[in-house]
Structures are given as structure tokens and as C-alpha cells.
Amino acid sequence: MKIKKNDVVVAISGKNASADKAGTLKTGKILQVFPEKGRAIVEGFNLMKRHTKKSQDNPKGGIVEKEMAMGVSKLMLFCPECKKGVRTGISRADGGRVRKCKQCGHAFDA
């Protein structure tokens, strides 16, 4: 898996691949990954509206939005230097496996 929990990513296709009027890409944090399925849950991405019944937590009931898992092939790591989704390479120079931005060399696991 190229991504892991707490990574910040952008979507490269689909309805989650959006930018605001200033051109800032919508980013989201990885909440959970499912390596065997190749899917991940990303904060604020792939929201599904769900109708809920009244409960103690939600006394009024109604509609809540919840993130659904999406394919990691649609996600790229967001590089804070490049300000966009980037490809990464693995560097072993520092003794461990460090993912680095292929464009600017930013280390994601430092």
C-alpha cells in the first residue's frame, strides 16, 4: 500500500477530485485503510447520506453523512511543497523506508 493511516491525500478522479475557487485542492486525511481490499476511508471524501432512526446519540433522527471506503487507486499523497497529489518513491537512505515526493524530494515519513 502506498498510503497509510493519517496520510493526507487528494482524489485524482471522480466527484471527490475538486478544488475551491482559489484553486486549492480538496484534501482529506486517511482514517482507515483496508489493504486486502485496496480501499481506504478518507475524511470528508465519498460521503454517503444515511437516514438514521432516532437514538440516544441522535434524538431527532434524520440524515447524517458518513464516509464510505473508496479505491486507493483514485488517491494520491498530497505533497505540502508541491501543493498537489504526487507520485512517491521509497528511499532507504536514512535506515528506514521513507516515502519521498518524486518531484521535490519531500519526505513523508520523516
Is 4 within 8 Å of 18 (Cβ atoms)?
A: no
* Position 80 contacts Zn ion (CB under 5 A): no
Number of residues that bind Zn ion (CB under 5 A): 7
* Position 84 contacts Zn ion (CB under 5 A): no
Dihedral, CA of residue 38, residue 83, residue 95 and residue 36, to nearest 10: 0
Q: How many residues does the chain have?
A: 110
* Position 101 contacts Zn ion (CB under 5 A): yes
| CB 64 to Zn ion: min, Å | 36
- The single residue listed with the C-alpha cell 432516532 is 54
Binding site for Zn ion (CB under 5 A): 79, 81-82, 101, 103-104, 106
